[in-house]
Amino acid sequence: MDQSRIEIPNRITLGEILDRAVGKNPDGDAMVYLDRDFRLTYREFKDSVDKLAKGLMALGVEPGQKVAIWATNVPYWVTLMFATAKIGAILVTVNTHYRSAELEYLLQQSETENLFLVDTYRDCDFLDTVYELVPELRTQERGHLNSKRFPHLKRVCFLDQAKHRGMFALPEIMDISRMVSEEEYQARQKQVTPDQVVNMQYTSGTTGFPKGVMLTHTGIGNNGFWIGENQRLTPQDRICLPVPLFHCFGCVLGVMAAITHASTLVILEEFEPVQVMASVEHENCTALYGVPTMFIAILQHRLFDKFNMQHLRTGIMAGSPCPVKTMNEVMEKMNMTEITICYGLTENSPVLTQTQPTDNIKRRTETVGKIMPGQEMKLMDPDTLEPVPEGEQGEIWCRGYSVMKGYYNKPRETQAVLTKDGWLRTGDMGAIDKHGYLSITGRCKDMIIRGGENIYPREIEEYLHRWEGVKDVQVVGVPSKKYGEEIGAFIQLEKGAAYTAEDIRDRCRGQISRFKIPKYVTFVEEYPLTASGKVQKYKLRDISAELWPDA
């Protein structure tokens, strides 16, 4: 290994990873936001993290407490990620597409004690949503919150300078950091161990509503390191990151790969093709992350030829399969000859396999690479739970440092995917060629993947079932040229009930995430059933492809 790389031992905390990066590249850029002229060196970034961490201690944040963050990729998102890690708290990442009902569920199920938020995102007012859910904020003293709906919630904080009733503003938290001595801070850090939970991310699983995946310092720290190794990252690399930080794609593949290699993060608050191209050109970015639809949007933009991308060489494309044409264009027109493909799942911290910079087009488009160091993988028959014969497809199982500790407060669901000897059942079907490259062949779980977003139909079905006049709902993925899949709803109505497709979509708006709202709706009298009376969803998917061929 190149001596300029940072050596990461198997067991290390996120705080120690940051401290080592500062020692390696103190004056190099750690974080840049081109659109607001915001940049911090690694030394400045660490100072900011330490100040916020002490402020959290002064507020009363204890080890093991959850700190939820409902925010876009604002500058202090990553600061909070490392500040919580340094004091033994658990960062709970909240999808910015969530709306009132989803946020309520997450805060209650996670038993979150602390919530950080920004003001708005697109058409959703985060502040109004929180005040509606926690009206006590308007009348009770800060730091002494007693919420009827959220008995665990102790404090709400605003991740910026503005002051809002009942909330602590970021500058105030930074200011009270002086109440905590360096000795107290160091003592707290010494209590943190690599195998503790540091991050909880809510993901749709095999049943019901999203579950809180408990990830450790060791898991996301080592996973980030090997992801960076497979991109050949060094302190000289600059990574353009336009993907959401609340996903593992952003905070592990992006942030942890960068910090473990003391590389620079050039972060965008959200994806916008021109801003991405401007950031790549102005900051001489060497790497770019995104799902295939993002790369397609950049390549097809009318201003594409106006920007210089000569410094790009690597990056990650993940979330859905990449068309051969797109991969060729990314490598030739964007100069990303070493771009890599990753496969994984949140429950595995997340990456299990990754392609190499030297792999050919075929392997980057037809496979998801080879297994990462420190992990095991095998293919099993999902029904018999026996290994499949060599060359045949089976359910992908994995084991290693990166496997989650479990789903928060969901032992039954945890037991369904984690075996007693440590294997994680991914729910995905795959095949491994003689060279060790994995191809994803399908899913044995009923998941929809829309543009990289994992969507479990049961959650949408249960929401629509609440409506008066709705007899039954079956939600399936509709094949889509742009997003891979769109959401289609087959709805049975009670006698006398009257809804239109637009009625369905209108009533979903503001209640569930925009990307979960069915784009396609049809009303049916009956469903195709098995002999035992189970709905044959695969037949509904076939019907959806016929009903909406231009999806």
Q: Looking at residue 489, which CATH number applies to its domain?
A: 3.30.300.30
pLDDT in tens, 93-113: 999 989 999 999 999 999 999
Q: pLDDT band for 383, please (50, 70, 90 cuts).
A: confident
Angle between helices 42-59 and 76-86 (to 10 degrees): 60
DSSP 174-204: HHGGGGS-HHHHHHHHHH--TTSEEEEEEE-
d(CA 41, CA 364): 34
pLDDT of residue 325: 85
d(CA 24, CA 14): 15
Structure token pair of residue 453: 């977003």
Six-digit token pair at 503?
Answer: 């009625």
Q: Report the alpha-carbon distance of residue 19 to residue 1 in Å, rounded.
A: 21
* pLDDT exceeds cutoff 50 at 347: yes
- Is the pTM value of this prediction over 0.75? yes
b/e map 232-253, b = 16+ CB within 10 Å: bbbbebbbbbbbbbbbbbbbbb
The predicted model gives 234-255 an average pLDDT of 97
Residue position matching structure tokens 């392609």: 355
Q: Which residues of 410-424 are buried (b: 16+ CB within 10 A; e: fewer)?
A: beebbeebbeeeebb
Domain of 76, CATH number, reads 3.40.50.980
Please report whether residue 296 resides in a domain: no
Helices (H), 334-405: 361-366
Confidence of residue 551 (pLDDT cuts 50, 70, 90): confident
**CA–CA distance from 409 to each of 312, 405, 412 (Å)?**
43, 11, 9
Cβ atoms of 41 and 31 within 8 Å: the answer is no
Q: pLDDT-derived band of residue 205, with 50, 70 and 90 as boundaries?
A: very low
Which band of pLDDT confidence, cut at 50, 70 and 90, is reported for residue 322?
A: confident
pLDDT, position 253: 98
The confidence score (pLDDT) of residue 203 equals: 86
Domain boundary among 159, 192, 225: 192
Does 29 fall in a domain? no
Distances 228 to 10, 12, 36 between C-alpha atoms, Å: 15, 16, 27
- pLDDT, one tens digit per residue, over 405-442 is 999 999 999 999 999 999 999 998 899 999 999 998 76
Query: Is 520 domain-assigned?
Result: yes
Residue that terminates a domain, selected from 151, 168, 192: 192
Q: Is residue 22 part of a domain?
A: no
* 252 domain residue, yes or no: no
Rounded Cα distance, 277 and 281, in Å? 6
Neighbours of 15 (CB within 10 A): 24
pLDDT at 182 over 80: yes
The pLDDT, as a whole number, for residue 533 is: 57
Looking at the domain assignment, is residue 484 inside a domain?
yes
pLDDT score for 343: 95
Structural domain includes residue 254: no
Cβ neighbour number for residue 106 with a 10 Å cutoff: 23
More confident residue, 402 or 291: 402
Residue 210 region by backbone torsions, left for phi larger than 0, else alpha for psi between -120 and 50, else beta: beta
Mean pLDDT value across residues 79-90: 98
More confident residue, 7 or 486: 486
What is the Cα–Cα distance from 55 to 390, expressed in whole angstroms? Answer: 55
474 pLDDT higher than 80: yes
Average pLDDT, integer, range 163-167? 97
Which residues does 533 contact at the CB level (< 8 Å), separation at least 6?
Answer: none
Let me know if residue 334 belongs to a domain: no
Comparison of pLDDT for 484 and 56, the residue scoring more: 56
From 192, 223, 248, give the residue that closes a domain: 192
Length of the chain: 551
Three-state DSSP state, 467: coil
Q: How confident is the model at residue 9 (pLDDT cuts 50, 70, 90)?
A: low
The domain total for the chain is 2
Residue span of the structural domain in which 508 resides: 448-547
